[in-house]
Amino acid sequence: MSVPLYVPAGEGEFVNIRDTKRTYLKLVTADSDGEFGFFEHHMAPEASGASPHIHKQSTEMFYVVKGEIEFTIGDRKVVGEPGAFAYVPKGEPHGFTNRGNEDATLLIMFYPIYNREDYFRGLGRLTANGRNPSLEELQEHMAKYDQFMV
């Protein structure tokens, strides 16, 4: 059963993934009975973010807090500045990068969550110490958490 939760700014579990600076796992599966996930994603300048992919079971939403995020949604590219919001229903191709030369902060939400926090934790392990996992390793990891490259 989920209970109310408060996570102060700059606190909570986090992972470091490749050229992101830090991803905070603010609301995870256990906190919401698997209904909703909420992540605060801090990106370095020109960080690659996520290449185009789909989720077969989850809807993903994004809110730009800081910086310029270039979203690929379907076959179009748009640049989101602070205050921009993107809603991506399951099955729709999408991806994002920090296209600016400044840090960026992106809020990422999933419904339902399907243990998405373990996806981020796993990426942190796969890319620890500058390691570049193989395409096969990435695809296998992604598939466990409802993410498929397009």
Question: What pLDDT score does 21 carry?
Answer: 85
Query: Tokens standing for 130?
Result: 């500058």
Instruction: Specify if 6 maps to a domain.
Output: no
**Which pLDDT score, from 0 to 100, does residue 20 have?**
76
Provide the pLDDT for residue 128.
92
- Whether residue 137 is contained in a domain is answered as yes
Residues 20 and 40: beta-carbon distance below 8 Å: no
pTM of the model: 0.94
Low-confidence ranges of the chain (pLDDT < 70): 19
pLDDT score for 130: 87
Number of structural domains, the chain?
1
Domain at 52, CATH number: 2.60.120.10
What per-residue confidence (pLDDT) applies to 103?
96
Query: Cβ(94)–Cβ(73) under 8 Å?
Result: yes
Q: Does a structural domain hold residue 4?
A: no
Residue 7 domain flag: no
pLDDT of residue 4: 93
Kindly report the number of other CB atoms within 10 A of residue 116's CB atom.
27
3 within a domain of the structure (yes/no):
no
* Sheet with 50-54: strands ordered across: 76-80, 69-73, 94-98, 50-54, 148-149
- Domain presence at residue 139: yes
The per-residue pLDDT for 81 is 97
Query: 46: buried, middle or exposed (CB in 10 Å: 19+, 13-18, 0-12)?
Result: middle
* Domain assignment of residue 74, yes or no: yes
Q: Please report whether residue 29 resides in a domain.
A: yes
Which residues constitute the domain of residue 109?
14-149
Query: What's the pLDDT tens digit per position in 79-88?
Result: 999 999 999 9
